[in-house]
Chains A and B, each alone.
Chain A
Amino acid sequence: MTEPLEPPDKVLDEILNHHRAASVADVSKHLDLDLGMRVARAEVNDSDAIDPIQAKRYADVLLAAQEGSTHALDEVIAELSPMLWRVARSTGLDRRSSEDVVQTTWLALLHSMSTIDNPAVLPGWLAMTALRESWKSSRDGRRDYGRVKERSGLALDQPALDEDATKDESLGPGHRALWQSIRRLPTRWRALIQVIAYTAPPYFDLVVTSLGVPRGAIGPHWDGYLAEVRRRLNSNPESPNVEGRTGT
């Protein structure tokens, strides 16, 4: 039996050259370069717009946590977890998986906190991590990635998403009415409102940009959403006195 014939160097070079171009072409179909660029921009540029007091607070918290203070992160976790949970839910994950995503996101922060150069971008960093963890968590993450991409970073059809809020007994009747009104909004608006509702005002832009909504798209849309919620609240029979509530 003869040894298989080895290809000459020239053929190996041809194979490798072809491989370089073909493999990049294949993989590029599975990447969203524009989303990645927007995330980088949010991380690098938007930090200037952050409230310096909040930025210092995050820096202090991260430093204390790094130095081993066990409860340093408690307050920030309580503050930002609802937003992260909404981010996970907005990709279509169920409650249980979303809770896992929130946990994993905080664990990722514990592992990576020494690499966060600019603590001011912490909410955006967390939102992006939660989004990525959500994609990983879904059974066919890559396909979901494409689907979420088509939806500009937010899932559009999550029927049970805001039922959580409307059934929450700890909310007063006014708040339940508010969520019920939000529920009747178009799905795209609902997803955005729910993420924003759990994000502190200075971070709207940072978080939402991290989720892939184009910069500048939030302001005018947000006013529109609020106006629509207000209109629907006024026509909600369970909402005896709604004036001013939605403006807060």
Chain B
Amino acid sequence: MAEEDFERFWQDQFTEVVVFLMRQRIRFADAEDAVQEAMTAAYKSWSTLRNPHAWVRVVAKREFQQATTRLHKQRAREHAVAHGADTGVFDDDLGVLRQDQQAIVSLLRRLPHRQREVMAWHIDGFKPAEIADHLNERVETVRSNLRHARQALKGHIAQDGYWNDVGGAS
């Protein structure tokens, strides 16, 4: 693919992948760094990439994981998550979103890890079979995680009254 294609891809996908990571409880600044690395790597290998949309998401997530491992932050974060410190603690980067969207990302971040990850791919338009392929999971597992995630989200939305706020119920 040509250089102009890559520029379009950069403009079209950079922000999408940043938000994709933010939905998975990765801070905005860390997400931006990881996507910059992943997109630069995509640029280097551009002519050989068959599915750049999925590739850059997988690589960006890996870049983030490698960065946190390198900086020895992983354990601290997992500890915080395991001890229920996830309400609010990881949401202080959400000022880049308007309030209604902050509420949704915050809901997504409250999902268990696998459901959160599958839901992030689902929101970006990937089908369960594709998600299973990119995450190296069984498609049944992906479907199951997706079903649970959707159910949990519907529950949260009903509880939080978000549905009423957006005019879904009256």
B75 at the interface (CB under 8 A from A): no
Contacts of B18 on A, CB cut-off 8 Å? 27, 31
Inter-chain contacts of A141 with B (CB < 8 A): 29
Could you tell me if A44 and B101 are in contact, using CB atoms closer than 8 angstroms?
no
Number of interface residues of A (CB under 8 A): 38
Which chain A residues lie closer than 8 Å to B154 at the CB level? 6-7, 9, 12
The CA of A83 and the CA of B40, in the complex, are separated in Å by 24
Q: Is A20 an interface residue (CB 8 A)?
A: yes
Q: Which of A33-41, A73-81, A190-198, A219-227 contacts B (4 or more CB under 8 A)?
A: A33-41
Does A5 interact with chain B (Cβ within 8 Å)?
yes
Q: When each residue 91-109 of chain B gets 1 if its CB lies under 8 Å from chain A and 0 otherwise, what string results?
A: 0000011101100110000
Q: Is the CB–CB distance between A33 and B11 below 8 Å?
A: yes
A31→B15 contact, CB < 8 A: yes
Stretch at the interface among B79-87, B129-137, B155-163: B155-163
Q: Determine if A53 is an interface residue (Cβ-Cβ < 8 Å).
A: no
- Tell me whether A111 and B71 are in contact in the complex, defined as CB-CB below 8 angstroms, given that A12-B157, A24-B16, A27-B28 are known contacts: yes
Please, which residue of chain B has its CB at the minimum distance from the CB of A40?
B40
Q: A68 an interface residue at 8 Å Cβ cutoff?
A: no
**In contact, B40 and A28 (Cβ under 8 angstroms):** no
Interface majority SS on A: helix, strand, loop or mixed? helix
CA distance A214 to B14 in the complex (A): 20
Q: Does the CB pair A27–B19 fall under 8 Å?
A: yes
Closest to B166 in A: A15
Residues in B with CB closer than 8 Å to A31 are 14-15, 18, 32
Is B1 close to A, CB under 8 A? no
Contact B97 A12 (CB under 8 A): no
Bound-state CA distance A3–B94 (Å) is 30
Known: A27-B19, A33-B14, A40-B39. 14 other contacts (CB 8 A): A6-B158, A9-B150, A12-B157, A15-B104, A15-B163, A15-B166, A22-B98, A22-B101, A28-B15, A31-B18, A37-B10, A44-B43, A141-B29, A142-B96
Could you list some 25 contacts between A and B, CB below 8 A?
A3-B158, A5-B158, A7-B163, A7-B168, A9-B150, A9-B154, A11-B163, A12-B150, A12-B154, A16-B104, A16-B122, A20-B123, A22-B100, A22-B101, A23-B22, A24-B15, A27-B15, A27-B18, A27-B97, A28-B15, A30-B96, A36-B39, A40-B43, A44-B44, A142-B96
